[in-house]
Structure 1
Amino acid sequence: MAEVGVPLIRLRALNAVTDSPLKQLDLDKLMEVLLERTRELLAVDTVTVLLVDRSGTQLVARATSGFEEEVFQGVRVPVGKGFAGAVAQRREPVQLQRVDESTVVNPLLWEHGLRALLGVPMIAEGELTGVVHVGSTTPRRFTGEEVEALQLVADRLAVGVYVDRTRSERAAAAMLQESLLPSRLPSTEGWELAARYVPGTDSGVSGDWYDVFELPGARIGVVIGDVAGNGLRAAVVMGRLRSALRAYAMDYPDPADVLGKLDRKASHFETGTMATVAYAVIDTATDHMRIAVAGHLPPLLATPGHETCFLPAHIGPPIGFDLGSTGRRSIDVEVPPGALMIFYTDGLVERRGEDLDDGLERLCRVISAVDPEAACAQAMATMVGDQPATDDIAVVAVRHGT
């Protein structure tokens, strides 16, 4: 019977996790069904799923069969600590035949009389998503076949969690980014503005953003930026940098000071974050602009009767990691009537297999001192054409009307 039982438990586990109706279930229902099946399959008293939080340092009880208190109480276990933490850190199965305060972090496990535990990691696409553990109130040692069966369940749950998180994060990031882009551009007499934003097909949603806002004293602030990375985290960081820059812009008239404050904030509160930003303040009363650039590509200036050129801005280091601790610099630029400026992110000019300078030169050739909507259309038609952009593209065009 033992020889028959070995393939049977694996077969039952495979049937439990590959059942076609499972594909139609949302994550919560999938966990509920698989945990009940696992409890029956392995003849255990409890089955619990703990998921890794966004920091990657904590396991949080998400679903259980037999120990509902773990979820109700929001049990958290540090990665590397105790039983579940060891499973997460090692990324391999762990068994316990003694369950007490010396071996597990969660007191519920020994308070409920568990005598044996088996935990396995949940890994999908090389990413640790959590831990599944089962417990028994009677002493036992789980067989290799039982460990393998639980790992099959964990692998199926890991895929479900990964897909759910990816889908949810993309939707949340897209909504967040859309909410942070200006719903309308300022309407200032003598100045025309237009903008474009197109998400990349490869990166999903990333940290590209643009912003245009009115400032006291007949001034206009123009921002273009790009947070390194993509997905929800990049979008969240982008939102925080955008809000901080707006706040600093109200108190500091010099863009270099604003970027310096932003760098200090990001370096302290956004550990591991890097972003490129160009920030300009246009004084509509004097027709002058002051601009500071932190690691970003320089804006273009098209003036009637002159060749289109890149602004001779001082390109300082990107925002983050205290790279700009030695100070940042602004330059003054005259913006005569009829002049057009183009601010953009690198998605507009970078292409795989093509030198960046070639993309910049092509953009420079196509931009002329036309109205901003036409300039955006020119840029997108030439630089994007009929091929989807692989990276996010943000463009802002500003023209001093005649």
Structure 2
Amino acid sequence: MVEEQHGELRQRVLEAVTDGALAEFGLDKLLDVLLGRVRELFAVDTVTVLLLDATDERLVATAAVGLEEEVYQGVRVPVGVGFAGRVAARREPTVIADVNPSTVVNPLLWEHGLRVLLGVPMIAGGQLTGVVHVGSRSTRRFTDAEVESLQLVADRLALAAHAYRSRSERAAATMLQDSLLPTRLPTVPGWELAARYVPGADTGVGGDWYDVLPLPDRRLGLVIGDVVGKGLAAAVVMGRLRSALRAYALEFPDPADVLGKLDRKVSHFEQNTMATVGYAVVDTVSASLRMALAGHLPPVVAFPGRPAALADVAPGPPVGRSLAVHGRRSSTIDLPPGTLVALFTDGLVERRGATLDEGLARLLSTVEPAPAGTVCARIMATMVGAKAATDDIALLTARHTR
């Protein structure tokens, strides 16, 4: 008889989580519906879903039935701490048969009279997305069938949460990237500017960026950068680096000093961040470019009557983690009329099945001292063509016309 009851529970739970109507729901509605069904099927008093905030390794109470205060009060539980935190850290079902201040850290659980808790991890694609736990105000024993059935629910919710988060993060990252990339390049007498940005097919929007800064004394700042990482997190870091670099650019004329200040800021306040950056300042009066590199590839320079070549710029370590212990250096290049400079991120020249040197050689054969917009289009046609790039690409070309 017991075996039949357990089999019936598994079947009812399986039907609940595979209901085709659920596919039409957004995440919030899906959580509401499934949590209500779980409460009824398992005959429990509370059901709570806590989703993982990967930025600070905490579980955030996102949806609840019977214990809505967890959501209303913004309960956050560090992974490894408390009941839900232990479930997340162990990644296995956990039962507490006596809920009290010594066994859980969230006072809402015992204040509401809960006596027994069962929690299971939510895992999708091998990654933890959260925790589901159910609670009862009466003493009871959760059977193996109930544990397995609640895990079925958690697996369904994990897939939904992972898909929703991927879509929402991509949309947010795209909006952030669009808001930070220059909508219109400045008009500078005697100079042409053109740029392209393409998100990678594999990585989605990430931390690549370019920027053009009109500076005092008829100077022009050119920036190219690539934050290590991808998605919304990389785009957010990119935004902070961009803002900080802009501020330092107004205070310090030497690109090496600007990157040094940026490195100090990142190393101190964002210790898990690393980025490659190239920053150049064009003096439009003397027609010279002064540049510093932080782990980034040098730009391509095409002088009239000469083959394009990588600029002779002193290398330097990436920004972040206090790598530039011996300071940074700038290099100066004269830009006679007709000269074109192309700054780019590594997504332009790195391809599966080809070496970096091969990618750079192909790029050099494409760049010439022609109008900036024409060269920009030609580079993308040659380096990208009809096949989507796997990584982000940022490209910025600048040409001295007279």
Q: TM-score scaled to structure 2, two decimals?
A: 0.98
For residues 349-378 of structure 1, the C-alpha deviation after alignment (integer angstroms, 9 at most, x for no partner) is 111010110111111111111000111011
For residues 74-105 of structure 1, the C-alpha deviation after alignment (integer angstroms, 9 at most, x for no partner) is 12222212211111111111111111100111
SS at structure 2 position matched to 1:390: coil
> Given that residues 280 and 292 in structure 1 are in contact (C-alpha distance below 8 angstroms), is that contact kept between their aligned partners in structure 2?
yes
Question: 1:32 Cα shift?
Answer: 0.6
Aligned to 2:153: 153
> Given that residues 202 and 391 in structure 1 are in contact (C-alpha distance below 8 angstroms), is that contact kept between their aligned partners in structure 2?
yes
SS at structure 2 position matched to 1:189: coil
1: CA distance between counterparts of 2:346 and 2:67?
A: 51
Question: 1:113 Cα shift?
Answer: 1.0
Question: 1:73 Cα shift?
Answer: 1.1
2: CA distance between counterparts of 1:3 and 1:161?
A: 32
Question: 1:56 Cα shift?
Answer: 4.4
1:395 aligns with 2:359: no
Q: Give unpaired runs (5+ residues) of structure 2.
A: none
1: CA distance between counterparts of 2:392 and 2:121?
A: 35
Counterpart code for 1:333 = I
Aligned to 2:118: 118
Aligned to 1:292: 292
Aligned to 2:62: 62
Question: 1:46 Cα shift?
Answer: 0.7
1:329 aligns with 2:345: no
Number of matched residues?
A: 402
Alignment of 1:142-291 (within 5 A): 142-291=142-291
Runs of 4+ more than 3 Å apart = none
Alignment of 1:69-80 (within 5 A): 69-80=69-80
For residues 184-227 of structure 1, the C-alpha deviation after alignment (integer angstroms, 9 at most, x for no partner) is 11111111111111111111111110000100000000001111
2: CA distance between counterparts of 1:22 and 1:81?
A: 33
What RMSD over aligned residues (CA atoms) do the two structures have, in Å? 0.9
Counterpart code for 2:128 = L
For residues 32-78 of structure 1, the C-alpha deviation after alignment (integer angstroms, 9 at most, x for no partner) is 11111101111011111111123242221111111111111112222
Percent of aligned pairs with the same residue?
63
Question: 1:307 Cα shift?
Answer: 2.0
Alignment of 1:354-373 (within 5 A): 354-373=354-373
SS at structure 2 position matched to 1:305: coil
SS at structure 2 position matched to 1:150: helix
1: CA distance between counterparts of 2:323 and 2:61?
A: 39
> Given that residues 169 and 231 in structure 1 are in contact (C-alpha distance below 8 angstroms), is that contact kept between their aligned partners in structure 2?
yes
Question: 1:274 Cα shift?
Answer: 1.2
Question: Is the deviation greater in 78-87 or in 255-264?
Answer: 78-87
Counterpart code for 2:42 = L
Q: TM-score scaled to structure 1, two decimals?
A: 0.98
2: CA distance between counterparts of 1:68 and 1:53?
A: 19
SS at structure 1 position matched to 2:131: strand
2: CA distance between counterparts of 1:334 and 1:45?
A: 75
Alignment of 1:283-322 (within 5 A): 283-322=283-322
2: CA distance between counterparts of 1:294 and 1:127?
A: 33
Aligned to 1:8: 8
Question: 1:6 Cα shift?
Answer: 2.0
> Given that residues 185 and 213 in structure 1 are in contact (C-alpha distance below 8 angstroms), is that contact kept between their aligned partners in structure 2?
no
Aligned to 1:344: 344
Aligned to 1:36: 36
Question: 1:398 Cα shift?
Answer: 0.5
2: CA distance between counterparts of 1:152 and 1:56?
A: 27
For residues 214-257 of structure 1, the C-alpha deviation after alignment (integer angstroms, 9 at most, x for no partner) is 00000000001111111000000011000000000000000000
1: CA distance between counterparts of 2:384 and 2:56?
A: 38
> Given that residues 196 and 394 in structure 1 are in contact (C-alpha distance below 8 angstroms), is that contact kept between their aligned partners in structure 2?
yes
1:107 aligns with 2:101: no
For residues 150-177 of structure 1, the C-alpha deviation after alignment (integer angstroms, 9 at most, x for no partner) is 1111111111111110000000001101
Aligned to 1:130: 130
Question: 1:270 Cα shift?
Answer: 1.7
Aligned to 2:377: 377
Question: Is the deviation greater in 270-279 or in 240-249?
Answer: 270-279
1: CA distance between counterparts of 2:123 and 2:208?
A: 30
